[in-house]
Structure 1
């Protein structure tokens, strides 16, 4: 049974070895007996992952600080702040895992909690990006209905439901795959399938709504004014597909008894950290077209997003 570094240790250990033979899982498959190595053997240096995660954590704190008084402005702001919270949790869990391993205080049970929190925050983050894209798509395709007849608290209710769904999926999956492993192997596989299906559904919704929005902006019959919200959403979706999608694909694939190399897990972990760290950079880039001040740029971009 091979071990993974922290950057890629996201789901479970692979039951298929490089030569194609099947290594039947035991309880150690899900709870490793020893901490994984923190070394340069993996493709991405651990110190680089840790540094980027710290920077991203600070960036999400700044975003949350800017949005603290704007959560009632419109539907998008609710999703934006929930996305920042999900990214914050993802990076925070990663940093805590590093600190625990570096200090030598880790025990096997800790990894279960870290896996649960990281998968939970990852699924929630994908859910919020998909919700933002869907909201923008609806506002463009059906502007009259969206601004006049859309229920006022839809965003808050939807965000709460997405958090609950992600929590239940992850908790049930890990409970059945670890606590009840010896008596519920089939149920474990079913839960993994359901969780994977939910992730795939979110990927499809995000892809479809983003594509429809792009086509409407570029090829629509009526001229649609491109706002900072559209630019911000486009950049955030692009970053997710470039940096965040791979980790979800590997987690889905890990439930099919497929061998996944340490290098691939390392790359996926590194890219997922970048994906959760770019919110402030995107808001600054979008807001800096007319404003040279860092704080004014971020403030203007977030103001436009939350007031769109």
Structure 2
């Protein structure tokens, strides 16, 4: 087991580099404790596996079993991005621990790609919901039919381009001490955090603090919870990972940020189920029924809002 964790300690990609007494830094006691490392490793894997299963169910239902509306296209793409993040963590964990002779930079680049896409998609979702709440008539009747699809395509292209820059920096060795891949986390934070923060506060004030908006119900509750969990779970990983590049944080803190990021990528299917389900209903509801009901509510609310606006 000690040999396994020795391989694990040498990771420089998804898992942060560990302090080493041989290079003049003091080794942190946590990394001497094989039991603690086992617990952390099992925690990351368990969260990632269950999260990937949940997102896989959402992808299957929205991709093949349910007729989608524009907003469901955002949710489908978000589930794909989160699934990619979790698969990257699972693959990198297994290879680094059990097959260390294999090169695993590909898993890290795929993580960066999907993690960036997830954050950009959440930003687009927050903007879409703000427009739906503050400008319902335009959102319902004048929005271009293929706008959602175009936005999703642009997000994936942008994420791919940013990751391509990261790969280029990596192979050209333009940064020292493995700092070539940290810039993308900073870019994500600068582009996404201000927009999502403003959108979350605006939606909360408009929906939760104004009585007439409260009946709009579960869909906006899901969006608000998704944005809140991002601010609590995903964004700290950006900060921790970036600061660790310059030696500002211990690697243990960055590993904790990775656990939070895995939680963020895993929690959305749980939010859909918990918020969308009618717990007192006599009929047992499947995930398909819950998703259909929640997003049908989105269409009915848009119609109701448009009638109120015209009145």
Kept in 2: contact 1:77–1:305 (CA 8 A): no
222, 240, 247: which one aligns with 2:230: 240
User: 1:25 corresponds to which residue?
Assistant: none
| TM-fit CA distance, 1:273 | 1.2
146, 150, 159: which one aligns with 1:153: 146
User: 2:90 corresponds to which residue?
Assistant: 95
* CA distance 1:92–1:38, shift in 2 (3 Å): farther
- The 2-side partners of 1:53 and 1:296 are apart by 25
Q: Which runs of 5+ in 1 are unaligned?
A: 23-35
Higher helix share: 2
61, 82, 85: which one aligns with 2:80: 85
1:261 paired with 2:250, answer: yes
1:218 paired with 2:208, answer: yes
* Structure with larger RCO (C-alpha < 8 A, sep 6+): 1
Kept in 1: contact 2:130–2:203 (CA 8 A): yes
Which stretches of structure 1, 4 residues or longer, exceed 6 Å deviation after superposition? 188-191
Kept in 1: contact 2:81–2:118 (CA 8 A): yes
- The 2-side partners of 1:221 and 1:286 are apart by 20
User: 1:285 corresponds to which residue?
Assistant: 274
Kept in 1: contact 2:117–2:156 (CA 8 A): yes
* CA distance 1:78–1:299, shift in 2 (3 Å): same
- The 2-side partners of 1:171 and 1:12 are apart by 21
1:68 paired with 2:72, answer: no
- The 2-side partners of 1:267 and 1:8 are apart by 16
- The 2-side partners of 1:6 and 1:137 are apart by 45
- The 2-side partners of 1:7 and 1:44 are apart by 17
What SS does the aligned partner of 2:285 have? helix
* CA distance 1:288–1:51, shift in 2 (3 Å): same
- The 2-side partners of 1:294 and 1:84 are apart by 27
User: 2:135 corresponds to which residue?
Assistant: 142
* CA distance 1:41–1:262, shift in 2 (3 Å): farther
1:115 paired with 2:108, answer: yes
What SS does the aligned partner of 1:259 have? coil
- The 2-side partners of 1:205 and 1:140 are apart by 16
| TM-fit CA distance, 1:221 | 8.2
- The 2-side partners of 1:289 and 1:162 are apart by 34
What SS does the aligned partner of 1:213 have? helix
User: 1:32 corresponds to which residue?
Assistant: none
267, 270, 275: which one aligns with 2:259: 270
Q: How many residues align?
A: 284
- TM-score, normalised to structure 1, is 0.79
* CA distance 1:71–1:185, shift in 2 (3 Å): farther
206, 211, 214: which one aligns with 2:196: 206
User: 2:165 corresponds to which residue?
Assistant: 172
**Over aligned residue pairs, what C-alpha RMSD do you find?**
3.5
